[in-house]
Amino acid sequence: MSEATIRFQNLMDESWQWRLDVSPELAASLGLLPARRSSHSLDPRSAQSFADRLEYIKRSLKDLEDLIESVGGIENVEKRLSVELFRDQLKTYVENAKYESHLACINRLEGPQTDLPLYASYLPVGTKEEVAFYVDFLSSIKKQNTEVIALLQEGIDKKNLPAKCSLDGVPEQFMSHVENGGSAFLSKILDSTNVPDDVKAKASAIVENEVVPSFKEIADFLKDVYVPALPTEIACTKRHPNGADYYQKCLEFHTTTSLTCTEVHEIGLKEVERITTEMERIATVEEGYPDLESYKAHLTTSPEFQPKNEEDLLKNYRDICGRISPALLKIFHVRTLPSTPFQIVPTPSRSASTAPAAYYLAGGGDRPGTFYANTSHLQTRYTYEFDALSLHEAIPGHHTQASVSAEQDDLEGFRKYQEDRRYFEAPARFPFYTGYVEGWGLHCESLGKELGLYQKPSDEYGALSMEMLRAVRLVVDTGMHGLGWSWDRAYKYMLSKTAMSEQDAGVETTRYVTWPGQACAYKIGQIEITRLRKKFEDETGDKKDVRDFYHVVLTAGAVPLTILEDKINELIVNVRGGGNTAGEAAGKPAATKANNDDFLNQMTFVPAWCKCCVVPGSHGFATREKI
């Protein structure tokens, strides 16, 4: 490694280490708590902490640009790409900091009421040191909640506010922690045989005297001060201090393209028309119904397509993933697939009523990836959509995607791992390239027949129904934020074009209000990845091996769509020139994935935890998937 390359590498490594040090919540979500050099147990959320963070990132950007100017580029192609992406990460944060998105830090999907219990679930309590860290976490909650209230008040003062509908039911979410005595934070400690009784008593006292009252304080502040100050206006272009520019930056942040609001809207309308034609063909030609509406009525009312109970819903997902697993070798080299297992569990009951139908959270350390399935409102969880949701959220979708990336030993930390949290901070944060992440999930839904799924017309219709949802998102997101649509118009449009229940359509519509531009990334990304596969197949002819294509797509880590195209173009040149294929030239050593049997043994769920799974609306890439 040249001296210049080492200097670039040191800058990238130090920046990633700083991110872990300053944010224990990020480190825990990635299973990287032991890698931290600092000991505080909760992210600082004061105004000063955000100012300090921005100052550090500005210095890092200057150091990087000074180094680029002094030594020029580096020869290694992959390292050069890493430097380019690193610069993009820093510039995105700095240039968008003016939007101060961190001030609108609570909504139906995010905030201390959901984020802190999730963080608690990540923290181990197996050793004395881990227990001490957990107790310190409990002691820090009151301070962080106080800082969050101060951020919300600053948002009021600066008129940097979310729409009122984005806070519907949120005070009640906070009060649920009060009413159950903070059990979400205590159960891990009280149930552990490793924790002495005196420590359990100390933890219980902290939760009773500090944690629970701090949640009550936020609930009261929201009800009495914050929610009354919120605008009923849903369009971020009208309620945000830099509205039009802010929305365009949100679109660019999530789609990783320069498409405008109008362009995205038009793409959506065309996709809705195309998918409707396919749906009508299935309804009338294959299923024999007089029209699409009568077929939709059958699908949404017939007990045949409704889980009998929670366990039946979970069993459906388990069975589907079991069928997908061995078929993955049709599209992936053995060496491409990850060894990280995944579990399927119900969405936590405290957030199920406002959560999407499902979502995925990546694993980390010894923690498996987790596919959350919403088991509330069972009559609206249509089984004909389960094939597509499994492909999207689990395998070969987000679980495969996130795990392959995290297992690439030669990638820098910021490329290996996805900071899949705090969507409200977009675009004033480090990018997570939603177009790639969620585009991949939706692209995977199109692989159903290739992998032996969609064996019934209703299943194929279910896939189209999920694709229609993503096309509708292009229309509705841009409609509400840029083209004057009301919430009711968007809601009714969704009901008219999809088979969603009124419950899910309402949750989805408010989600798009809450996260401007995020929902547009799925379809834009899927269109591009599908186009790139066709380009690869057309231009490599008899030499094509789709496993090479998917190897490059997955091992790249999350990247802008323009960068992904560059990598596929390189692959095409390599394959046409007779060079090593992606499966031979890159990835883990062959010894780590010796044969198909090893792979099939590794690609299993965690049996004891296997419960279930995705969204209308899952990123997310809350996220993602957040289909």
Longest Cα–Cα distance of the chain, Å, equals: 71
Q: How confident is the model at residue 596 (pLDDT cuts 50, 70, 90)?
A: very low
Same domain, 85 and 131: no
Structure tokens at 475: 């229309």
Same domain, 451 and 513: yes
Same domain, 160 and 196: yes
Q: Give the predicted TM-score (pTM) of the model.
A: 0.90
User: d(Cα 190, Cα 194) in Å, to the nearest integer?
Assistant: 10
Q: How confident is the model at residue 582 (pLDDT cuts 50, 70, 90)?
A: low
Same domain, 121 and 90: no
Q: Tell me the pLDDT tens digit for each residue of 335-359.
A: 999 999 998 988 778 777 766 677 8
Same domain, 210 and 290: no
Q: Is the pLDDT of residue 366 over 60?
A: yes
Q: Is the pLDDT of residue 203 over 80?
A: yes
User: d(Cα 165, Cα 233) in Å, to the nearest integer?
Assistant: 9
Q: Which of 228-242, 245-259, 357-371 is least confident?
A: 357-371
Q: How confident is the model at residue 598 (pLDDT cuts 50, 70, 90)?
A: very low
Q: Tell me the pLDDT tens digit for each residue of 503-561.
A: 889 999 999 999 999 999 999 999 999 999 999 999 999 999 999 999 999 999 999 99
User: d(Cα 561, Cα 329) in Å, to the nearest integer?
Assistant: 25
Which of 232, 267, 283 delimits the end of a domain? 232
Same domain, 375 and 453: yes
Query: What is the model's pLDDT at position 293?
Result: 92
Which of 78, 99, 120 delimits the end of a domain? 99
Same domain, 183 and 264: no
107 located within any domain: no
Same domain, 302 and 401: yes
Query: What is the model's pLDDT at position 542?
Result: 92
Relative to beta strand 369-373, strand 358-361 is antiparallel
194 located within any domain: yes
Q: In 3D, which of 16, 109, 5, 71 has the Cα closest to residue 557?
A: 16
Full domain range(s) for residue 43: 3-99
Same domain, 432 and 402: yes
Q: How confident is the model at residue 190 (pLDDT cuts 50, 70, 90)?
A: very high
User: d(Cα 589, Cα 331) in Å, to the nearest integer?
Assistant: 19
Query: What is the model's pLDDT at position 298?
Result: 94
Structure tokens at 107: 């909504």
What is the number of domains present in the chain? 3
Write down how long the chain is: 627
Q: In 3D, which of 86, 76, 189 has the Cα closest to residue 132?
A: 189
Mean pLDDT of 42-69: 98
- Give me the phi and psi of 292, to 5 degrees please: -65, -40
247 located within any domain: no
Per the prediction, the chain carries an average pLDDT of: 91
Q: How confident is the model at residue 398 (pLDDT cuts 50, 70, 90)?
A: very high
Same domain, 215 and 343: no
* DSSP label at residue 166: G
445 located within any domain: yes
Query: What is the model's pLDDT at position 580?
Result: 60
105 located within any domain: no
Residue 234 three-state SS: coil
Which of 232, 261, 277 delimits the end of a domain? 232
Tell the residue number behind the tokens 């940097």, with chain if given.
Answer: 160
Relative to beta strand 369-373, strand 342-346 is parallel
Q: Tell me the pLDDT tens digit for each residue of 304-338.
A: 999 999 999 999 999 999 999 999 999 999 999 99
216 located within any domain: yes
Same domain, 258 and 400: yes
Same domain, 187 and 151: yes
Relative to beta strand 342-346, strand 358-361 is unpaired
438 located within any domain: yes
Query: What is the model's pLDDT at position 367?
Result: 85
242 located within any domain: no
209 compared with 585, residue with greater pLDDT = 209
